[in-house]
Structure 1
Amino acid sequence: MQKVIIPSNSPLSLERNNRCSYYNCFNVYRCGKSGDQRIQVYIYPLKQYINEFGEPIIQHLSKEFYLIMQTVLHSKYYTSDPYNACIFIPSFDTLAQNNFLVKETSQALNKLPYWHNGENHLIFNFLPAQHSTVLKLATGNAIIAGVGFDSWTYRPSFDLSLPPYLPIQNFSSAVEERVWLVTSSQFNIHSSFIEKLKNLSKFNSELIILHNCSDSSPLFRCYKNFRYKYPDILRKSVFCIIFRGNRLSQPALLEAMAFGCIPIILSDTVVMPFQEIIDWKRAAFFVLEHNLSEIIRLAKSVSVTRIYEMSAQCSWLYLKYFSSIEVITNTTLDILNQRVFPENAHFYEDWNLKPNFGGSRSPLFLRTKSYSQSFTAVVLTYDRIDSLFFLIRKLSFVPSLSMILVIWNNPRIPLPEKSKWPQINKSLKVIQTDKNKLSNRFFPYKEIETEAVLSLDDDISMLTEDELDFGFEVWREFPDRIVGFPSRTHVWDNVTMSWKYESEWTNEISMILTGAAFYHKYWNYVYMTSMPDEIKQWVDNHMNCEDIAMNFLVANVTNKAPIKVAPRKKFKCPECVNTEMLSADLNHMLERSKCINKFEKIFGRMPLRKVEFRADPVLYKDSFPAKLKRFKNVGNL
């Protein structure tokens, strides 16, 4: 191992910059050089640091620090090339600052070849000194992933607040009867709380104060004349009080969570572990320190259902984020990666809810409303020129339309001459595809500059300007959903034991056909990059069901139903008669039912959600003067 001499007069790095944020201390231009959309993390080679007398000034690696390094080395973020690195990690142990020399270690940091005053360096510190909330090294602009931050020393969106590492033996998530309502089991409680806690217990038998047993064994706690094994006793408690002790971040917190005891946290300035991604209100209650007397009332007010949910959330959070050095390290790297590449960020639900949670989520950065002022109409056509031109002229009068993009899906027939296209006052662009594929309508064309896309078939000419304008207004309120006009549903057939595509006029819908529907252009990108290839191939081979596939995709991500707009239900060609369409309709329905069952099998579940809901313009059917109605021309059934 190479030796590095650190003379006693070696310069130190600058002191920790308390004003650091992601925007002024982190050099994002170091990231993404290799073309990967994720951070690259470099670990300095192991070296032995000695003073001018040949004495070691940095202790050997602890087991915990070795596990951190091994986890990084085997992670998807590791790189051996420092010139492509986004994050740098020093290879000497900084976990327990009581175990190293502050001046000499600070000098060693400054000696690192890519240090640059700590820029883009990550320093782990699991075990800060007692009564200290920040690592006492000259770390300059380095990121500190540490334990024990308070709101004064933590630099939001820059530092990372870690949990104290706590290996719990004989951990089991088995549910037992919880006979105690509120328990206090800490020893290192601040003196200002001890008397208040004792006084509270005199008048509340629901509060159990566990204390150190006579033999001072850390494996047991005593209550009155009874002796209980710790931390197993936490399984019998509903709520556990977590006080501010010598350290702000308490091992007692993780012990309580591991055994499903819901924490009631009394520490006004504590920064919770991984609070950047964890919604702690799902798993814990926070009470101001001067409101200690309110905890019994709070505990009694919580419903049985919420107690069950929070207890389960505590156990799940412990297993997912705190149960080992490996998961703590990987979570730290995932958070850093999310900061640098927010387009690849996990959803809120990914961080905070168990898989298959069945709730709803928005992939559009949790937005609940779009402020877009216009939309792009994407019209898929093949050879129906007359109906296409008629539709273009009609669309041009819709006030909120920004541009019409025609997808000419016939590679064998040349485009009509420019002079034959309708002359309109809106932008019109035409793209001729190389192959006739239905998936072409969902390609993320660079020409689409608006958030909203109106997907249209070239024969949907019955919709009025008011209907289209109103449909866009509805989409702005629900930008993560498919919003449109022709609706369908799926039903279970007990005879065939399979799903059936249903086009009957019912109040219940689960699909909006993309022959006339608004959606966010984000879904085009998801369709092309994340839709299973087997589904895209099925759609293009059968020239059918691309609209069903898009409904599956959106519902699978959001767990939300689409929204039907306006009462119109007739969308068929007016020239066609029922006798001509009967056979075609029968085959069509069978083919569509086959698609639903095929897609369900590929997705592994049925994501479509049924809903009885329809959005209609205000006053459209009321007998008010026309001048009072914004959307006057809305079609009937």
Structure 2
Amino acid sequence: MQAKKRYLLVLLSCAFLAYCYFGGYRLKSKSGVTPVRQELSHFLDVSDQLYDSDVDSSPHIRRMGEFHGDNYSKCRMETCFDFERCRTDFKVYVYPFASDSDSEVDGELPVPPQSPSYQKLLNVIIESRYYTSDPGQACLFVLAIDTLDRDSLSQNYVRNVQARTQRLRLWNNGRNHVIFNLYSGTWPEYLEESLGFNPGMAILAKASMSTAVFRPGFDISIPLFHKNHPEKGGDPGFVASNNFPAAKRYLLAFKGKRYVHGIGSETRNSLYHLHNERDLVLVTTCIHGKSWKDLKDERCDEDNAEYDR
């Protein structure tokens, strides 16, 4: 009798376990209840889904800084520049500076403080004979907004540039404007097209531009310059007219050290390809540091002799 009870108890236990297993499986497979995740709205666009990481910038900054997807990436002087403004004379207008403490003028947002480098750049333009305080006479326009450093982690980074430019009465989608930029993007990628705003039809005077971003015959490639670079110095210039091209013997000249290893070595080690001893003169020396002899390459002796000549 006891054996029958034990067998019956085991049988009932197996039946209960089977019911729990298959019953739970059927409940999971039912599609009558929509998961909460499917009911939520999607706030990602295609660029966000394809982007590998959000470490270097927010989606908002990426969208405001991308200008390759529009027609502005194909800008040329014939399509994005108004030559009528330059028919009488070549004049440059610099937007007036207004601090955050000043009130808004004509709907324009007050301009944040400028970095010393940008102040020097604007001072050179304002003190030149090309400057005009009358925007009606200007051929080119330069922003008072500091756009040199577009690294969002930098203390010189200016926020809301897109909104500030769009509220400028003379902005005209960037036409006939020149935007200066030395650094763009942020850690770890430092994408050169990540300006944090769309420059539109403005000419980019930018350092370290690649051929993928540079618009031939429109943009201007400029060198990096140190923040301590003097605003003025040396002898007075001798330029008295706007003759172009200038009647000079040398188109390009460079004399300096090259590094046979480390950062920057690939660039300077390639300069000899441009050297033709006529209008392009680029001479370098390998003598740099204490271990240059141990690391010198096959061109060092020839380059050193050319450098000392």
Q: TM-score, normalization: structure 1?
A: 0.26
- Superposition deviation, residue 284 in structure 1: 6.2
The residue aligned with 2:86 is: 31
Q: Distance in 1 between matches of 2:95 and 2:259?
A: 48
1:82 aligns with 2:154: no
* Residues 1:115 and 1:298: Cα distance change in structure 2 (over 3 Å): same
Any residues of structure 2 matched to 1:70-469 within 5 Å, and which?
70-98=123-151, 99-100=156-157, 104-130=160-186, 131-134=190-193, 135-166=195-226, 167=228, 183-184=260-261, 186=263, 241-242=265-266, 263-265=268-270, 282-283=281-282, 296-302=297-303, 304=305, 306-308=306-308
Contact 1:182 1:296 in 2 (8 A): no
* Residues 1:15 and 1:133: Cα distance change in structure 2 (over 3 Å): closer
Contact 1:118 1:142 in 2 (8 A): yes
CA-to-partner distance for each residue in 1:546-593, whole Å, 9 max, x for gaps?
A: xxxxxxxxxxxxxxxxxxxxxxxxxxxxxxxxxxxxxxxxxxxxxxxx
Secondary structure of 1:29's match?
A: helix
Secondary structure of 1:283's match?
A: strand
- Superposition deviation, residue 82 in structure 1: 0.6
Secondary structure of 2:93's match?
A: strand
- Superposition deviation, residue 132 in structure 1: 2.2
1:42 aligns with 2:93: yes
- Superposition deviation, residue 101 in structure 1: 5.2
Contact 1:49 1:108 in 2 (8 A): no
Secondary structure of 1:150's match?
A: coil
Q: Distance in 2 between matches of 1:116 and 1:168?
A: 33
Contact 1:31 1:85 in 2 (8 A): yes
- The higher relative CO (CA closer than 8 Å, separation ≥ 6) is in 2
Contact 1:58 1:101 in 2 (8 A): no
Contact 2:150 2:196 in 1 (8 A): yes
| Aligned-partner residue type, residue 199 of structure 2 | T
Secondary structure of 1:146's match?
A: strand
| Aligned-partner residue type, residue 73 of structure 2 | N
Q: Distance in 2 between matches of 1:126 and 1:107?
A: 21
Query: Number of residues paired by the alignment?
Result: 187
Q: Distance in 2 between matches of 1:280 and 1:110?
A: 44
Q: Distance in 2 between matches of 1:153 and 1:133?
A: 8
Q: Distance in 2 between matches of 1:49 and 1:25?
A: 32
Q: Distance in 2 between matches of 1:114 and 1:83?
A: 10
Q: Distance in 1 between matches of 2:95 and 2:178?
A: 12
* Residues 1:18 and 1:49: Cα distance change in structure 2 (over 3 Å): farther
CA-to-partner distance for each residue in 1:5-44, whole Å, 9 max, x for gaps?
A: xxxxxxx8994611112222111111033xx4xx100011
* Residues 1:30 and 1:100: Cα distance change in structure 2 (over 3 Å): same
* Residues 1:67 and 1:280: Cα distance change in structure 2 (over 3 Å): farther
Secondary structure of 1:145's match?
A: strand
Q: Distance in 2 between matches of 1:124 and 1:94?
A: 6
Secondary structure of 2:170's match?
A: coil
Secondary structure of 1:161's match?
A: strand
Question: What is the root-mean-square deviation of aligned Cα atoms in Å?
Answer: 3.8
* Residues 1:81 and 1:152: Cα distance change in structure 2 (over 3 Å): same
Secondary structure of 1:184's match?
A: coil
Q: Distance in 2 between matches of 1:264 and 1:70?
A: 36
Deviates more, 1:74-83 or 1:18-27: 18-27
Q: Distance in 1 between matches of 2:66 and 2:298?
A: 50
Percent identity between the two aligned chains: 25
Any residues of structure 2 matched to 1:416-565 within 5 Å, and which?
none
Q: Distance in 2 between matches of 1:26 and 1:84?
A: 15
Contact 2:100 2:111 in 1 (8 A): yes
CA-to-partner distance for each residue in 1:182-234, whole Å, 9 max, x for gaps?
A: 54353xx7xxxxxxxxxxxxxxxxxxxxxxxxxxxxxxxxxxxxxxxxxxxxx
Contact 1:13 1:106 in 2 (8 A): no
Secondary structure of 1:18's match?
A: helix
Contact 1:128 1:147 in 2 (8 A): no
The residue aligned with 1:22 is: 77
- Superposition deviation, residue 300 in structure 1: 4.1
Q: Distance in 1 between matches of 2:97 and 2:229?
A: 30
More strand by share: 1
* Residues 1:148 and 1:132: Cα distance change in structure 2 (over 3 Å): farther
Contact 2:207 2:222 in 1 (8 A): yes
Ranges in structure 2 where 5+ consecutive residues have no aligned partner: 1-63, 102-108, 231-255, 272-277, 285-295
Q: Distance in 2 between matches of 1:92 and 1:140?
A: 16
- Superposition deviation, residue 265 in structure 1: 4.2
Secondary structure of 1:164's match?
A: coil
Contact 1:13 1:107 in 2 (8 A): no
| Aligned-partner residue type, residue 97 of structure 2 | L
CA-to-partner distance for each residue in 1:312-345, whole Å, 9 max, x for gaps?
A: xxxxxxxxxxxxxxxxxxxxxxxxxxxxxxxxxx
Q: TM-score, normalization: structure 2?
A: 0.51
